[in-house]
Amino acid sequence: MAPKILVIPGSTRTGSLNIKLAAAATDELTRAGAEVTRISLGDFPLPIYDADLQTRSGVPKHAINLKRMIGAHQGVLWVTPEHNASVPALVKNTIDWVSRIQDGNESRGQVFRGRAFAVASASNSRFGGARALAALRLILTACQATVIPHQFALSFASEAYDEMDRLKHPPDAEALKTLAGQLIEMSERLR
Protein backbone atom coordinates (compact mmCIF):
# COMPACT_ATOMS: atom_id res chain seq x y z
CA MET A 1 0.00 0.00 0.00
CA ALA A 2 1.36 3.40 -1.03
CA PRO A 3 2.31 5.75 1.79
CA LYS A 4 0.18 8.86 2.18
CA ILE A 5 2.24 12.05 1.96
CA LEU A 6 1.01 15.55 2.79
CA VAL A 7 2.68 18.48 1.01
CA ILE A 8 2.40 21.85 2.78
CA PRO A 9 3.63 24.97 1.01
CA GLY A 10 4.58 27.60 3.60
CA SER A 11 3.39 30.43 1.39
CA THR A 12 0.00 31.61 0.21
CA ARG A 13 1.34 34.35 -2.09
CA THR A 14 0.21 34.37 -5.71
CA GLY A 15 3.08 33.23 -7.92
CA SER A 16 5.09 31.88 -4.98
CA LEU A 17 8.24 30.01 -5.97
CA ASN A 18 7.59 27.67 -3.03
CA ILE A 19 4.08 26.81 -4.19
CA LYS A 20 5.63 26.00 -7.56
CA LEU A 21 8.22 23.79 -5.85
CA ALA A 22 5.45 22.10 -3.82
CA ALA A 23 3.66 21.29 -7.10
CA ALA A 24 6.87 19.83 -8.58
CA ALA A 25 7.41 17.80 -5.39
CA THR A 26 3.81 16.56 -5.54
CA ASP A 27 4.42 15.29 -9.08
CA GLU A 28 7.71 13.64 -8.08
CA LEU A 29 6.19 11.95 -5.03
CA THR A 30 3.27 10.70 -7.12
CA ARG A 31 5.64 9.30 -9.76
CA ALA A 32 7.55 7.55 -6.96
CA GLY A 33 4.37 5.76 -5.87
CA ALA A 34 3.03 7.85 -2.99
CA GLU A 35 -0.56 8.92 -2.48
CA VAL A 36 -0.16 12.69 -2.22
CA THR A 37 -2.34 15.47 -0.84
CA ARG A 38 -1.23 19.09 -1.32
CA ILE A 39 -2.94 21.79 0.72
CA SER A 40 -2.86 25.55 1.09
CA LEU A 41 -2.41 27.09 4.53
CA GLY A 42 -4.80 29.76 3.23
CA ASP A 43 -7.53 27.18 3.81
CA PHE A 44 -6.51 26.96 7.49
CA PRO A 45 -6.36 30.60 8.68
CA LEU A 46 -5.09 30.94 12.25
CA PRO A 47 -4.62 33.85 14.64
CA ILE A 48 -1.12 34.52 15.93
CA TYR A 49 -0.46 31.97 18.68
CA ASP A 50 -1.24 33.36 22.13
CA ALA A 51 -1.49 31.16 25.23
CA ASP A 52 -4.09 33.52 26.76
CA LEU A 53 -6.22 33.22 23.63
CA GLN A 54 -5.90 29.44 23.81
CA THR A 55 -6.96 29.50 27.48
CA ARG A 56 -9.96 31.72 26.72
CA SER A 57 -11.13 30.19 23.44
CA GLY A 58 -9.36 26.86 23.03
CA VAL A 59 -7.45 25.77 19.95
CA PRO A 60 -8.98 27.10 16.69
CA LYS A 61 -10.88 24.56 14.61
CA HIS A 62 -8.58 25.14 11.62
CA ALA A 63 -5.58 24.07 13.74
CA ILE A 64 -7.46 20.96 14.86
CA ASN A 65 -8.44 20.14 11.25
CA LEU A 66 -4.85 20.62 10.08
CA LYS A 67 -3.51 18.46 12.91
CA ARG A 68 -5.92 15.69 11.96
CA MET A 69 -4.93 16.02 8.30
CA ILE A 70 -1.25 15.64 9.25
CA GLY A 71 -2.21 12.65 11.40
CA ALA A 72 -3.90 10.96 8.44
CA HIS A 73 -0.60 10.88 6.52
CA GLN A 74 2.57 8.86 7.09
CA GLY A 75 4.82 11.61 5.73
CA VAL A 76 4.82 15.39 5.48
CA LEU A 77 6.81 17.68 3.20
CA TRP A 78 7.08 21.33 4.28
CA VAL A 79 8.12 23.69 1.47
CA THR A 80 9.07 26.98 3.08
CA PRO A 81 10.12 30.40 1.88
CA GLU A 82 12.97 32.15 3.68
CA HIS A 83 12.19 35.39 5.52
CA ASN A 84 15.06 37.19 7.25
CA ALA A 85 17.19 34.03 7.30
CA SER A 86 14.43 31.95 8.93
CA VAL A 87 10.96 30.51 8.36
CA PRO A 88 8.08 32.89 7.68
CA ALA A 89 5.58 33.68 10.43
CA LEU A 90 2.92 31.61 8.63
CA VAL A 91 4.96 28.41 9.00
CA LYS A 92 6.05 29.02 12.60
CA ASN A 93 2.57 30.04 13.72
CA THR A 94 0.99 26.99 12.10
CA ILE A 95 3.42 24.64 13.84
CA ASP A 96 2.94 26.49 17.15
CA TRP A 97 -0.83 25.95 17.04
CA VAL A 98 -0.70 22.34 15.80
CA SER A 99 1.86 21.40 18.46
CA ARG A 100 -0.59 22.42 21.23
CA ILE A 101 -3.33 19.96 20.28
CA GLN A 102 -4.15 16.85 22.29
CA ASP A 103 -6.85 14.57 20.92
CA GLY A 104 -8.13 11.93 23.33
CA ASN A 105 -5.29 10.26 25.21
CA GLU A 106 -2.53 11.80 23.09
CA SER A 107 0.28 13.82 24.55
CA ARG A 108 0.66 17.39 23.34
CA GLY A 109 2.29 17.47 19.90
CA GLN A 110 1.84 13.73 19.37
CA VAL A 111 1.10 14.31 15.67
CA PHE A 112 4.76 15.18 15.06
CA ARG A 113 5.91 11.79 16.31
CA GLY A 114 5.55 8.55 14.39
CA ARG A 115 5.67 10.05 10.90
CA ALA A 116 8.42 11.25 8.58
CA PHE A 117 8.99 14.90 7.73
CA ALA A 118 10.99 16.44 4.90
CA VAL A 119 11.90 20.08 4.25
CA ALA A 120 12.45 22.01 1.03
CA SER A 121 12.73 25.64 0.01
CA ALA A 122 12.92 27.74 -3.14
CA SER A 123 14.55 31.15 -3.32
CA ASN A 124 16.03 33.46 -5.91
CA SER A 125 19.18 33.63 -3.81
CA ARG A 126 22.14 31.35 -4.39
CA PHE A 127 21.47 29.72 -0.99
CA GLY A 128 18.00 28.57 -2.04
CA GLY A 129 16.46 29.15 1.39
CA ALA A 130 19.00 26.95 3.21
CA ARG A 131 18.86 29.11 6.35
CA ALA A 132 15.08 28.68 6.52
CA LEU A 133 15.56 24.94 6.17
CA ALA A 134 17.97 24.89 9.11
CA ALA A 135 15.45 26.83 11.21
CA LEU A 136 12.54 24.61 10.15
CA ARG A 137 14.53 21.45 10.86
CA LEU A 138 15.29 22.80 14.36
CA ILE A 139 11.61 23.64 15.00
CA LEU A 140 10.39 20.21 13.83
CA THR A 141 13.09 18.42 15.80
CA ALA A 142 12.06 20.36 18.91
CA CYS A 143 8.55 18.95 18.30
CA GLN A 144 10.18 15.48 18.30
CA ALA A 145 9.53 14.96 14.60
CA THR A 146 11.65 12.57 12.54
CA VAL A 147 13.11 14.75 9.78
CA ILE A 148 14.82 12.90 6.94
CA PRO A 149 18.50 13.73 6.36
CA HIS A 150 18.09 14.96 2.78
CA GLN A 151 16.69 18.44 2.21
CA PHE A 152 16.28 20.48 -0.96
CA ALA A 153 17.22 24.16 -1.33
CA LEU A 154 16.38 25.37 -4.85
CA SER A 155 18.66 28.28 -5.76
CA PHE A 156 17.80 30.92 -8.39
CA ALA A 157 14.29 29.46 -8.41
CA SER A 158 12.72 31.91 -10.85
CA GLU A 159 15.07 30.48 -13.50
CA ALA A 160 14.76 26.83 -12.45
CA TYR A 161 11.60 25.82 -14.33
CA ASP A 162 10.80 25.10 -17.95
CA GLU A 163 7.63 26.27 -19.73
CA MET A 164 5.74 23.29 -18.20
CA ASP A 165 6.85 24.25 -14.64
CA ARG A 166 9.15 21.23 -14.38
CA LEU A 167 12.64 21.58 -12.96
CA LYS A 168 14.86 22.07 -16.01
CA HIS A 169 18.29 21.51 -14.48
CA PRO A 170 19.15 17.79 -13.99
CA PRO A 171 20.91 18.30 -10.62
CA ASP A 172 17.78 20.02 -9.24
CA ALA A 173 15.49 17.29 -10.59
CA GLU A 174 17.77 14.61 -9.13
CA ALA A 175 17.87 16.33 -5.71
CA LEU A 176 14.06 16.50 -5.63
CA LYS A 177 13.85 12.84 -6.66
CA THR A 178 16.25 11.89 -3.84
CA LEU A 179 14.18 13.85 -1.32
CA ALA A 180 10.97 12.16 -2.50
CA GLY A 181 12.54 8.72 -2.32
CA GLN A 182 13.91 9.26 1.20
CA LEU A 183 10.59 10.65 2.45
CA ILE A 184 8.67 7.68 1.05
CA GLU A 185 11.18 5.18 2.45
CA MET A 186 11.12 6.72 5.93
CA SER A 187 7.32 7.02 5.86
CA GLU A 188 7.02 3.30 5.09
CA ARG A 189 9.54 2.43 7.81
CA LEU A 190 7.66 4.40 10.47
CA ARG A 191 4.22 2.93 9.64
Query: Which pLDDT value is given to residue 105?
Result: 86
Q: How much is the pLDDT for 39?
A: 98
**Digit-coded pLDDT (tens) for 118-142:** 999 999 999 999 999 999 999 999 9
* Domains: count for the chain: 1
CA distance 107 to 114: 13
Give the global pTM.
0.96
Helices 89-98, 61-71: crossing angle, 10 deg rounding: 80
- Write the CB contacts of 180 (distance below 8 Å, at least 6 apart in sequence): 25, 28, 29, 31, 32, 34
Question: Which domain covers residue 120, as residue numbers?
Answer: 4-190
CATH number at residue 19: 3.40.50.360
